[in-house]
Amino acid sequence: MSNLEELYKAIETLKKNNIKIDDDLSRRLDEAEEKIIRDEIIPIIGNDIEPTLRQIKRKLVLVVDYDPEKSLNVRMTRKRVVTDVSDTKEYPLLPLTQDINPIRKQKTHVIIHPRTHLRVTFPDGTMLTDRKAITTFLRAIERIGLEKIEKLGIITDRTNLIVRSPKSNGSHAEWHRVRDWYVNTHSSTMSKAKHLNKISNSLRLNLRIEIV
């Protein structure tokens, strides 16, 4: 269960037990929710949408209007959006990077967003986790077997996840060499977890994949 789910569960428990949520408690709950969204949700959103937004070469403003009971609404404008500063807070999705070239050169290492990590647990109890999700991802793939995964034909960022000879093909691929294979690691932590889940299900490995 995520921290956000635990917070909402605690609120529901208070309501079910008819415990009054006064102004002070309401303020603290709001602060806790905002902190989780700022530290855990927004970084994941940034990692997921950044590769797509990099295709846009001109400035624009996207305003996301979220209501859990309605479909997601996104508004676009070329003009500056002015809001009441006292009621809004600004959080950067990702740190600004210098290299925004859509065609990446082959790299031996990459700096990833440090806010989310992967934890992969095998049925025999072996647990792989590192402060960098990319390291955990590569270690898990190597342990499972690169040739077996390559045969699954998993696609990420318009190219195969694992290849013998890397090619750009107009993608944002970032290749890491593992033994005699190359692994495309240009994806968010969430996407890496989805790839590992797909591999686990396809090969019936019964892995436990967590974002922590």
pLDDT tens track for 143-177: 999 999 999 999 987 888 999 888 766 567 788 88
> Which one is predicted more confidently, 52 or 139?
139
Sheet holding 181-184, edge to edge: 162-163, 181-184, 175-178
Total-model pTM: 0.47
| Rounded Cα distance, 44 and 46, in Å | 5
Both tokens of 177, joined, read 């060499």
DSSP type of residue 96? -
> Which one is predicted more confidently, 76 or 86?
76
Counts for the chain of helices (H) and strands (E), in that order: 6, 10
150 with 181: CB under 8 angstroms?
A: yes
Average pLDDT, the chain: 78
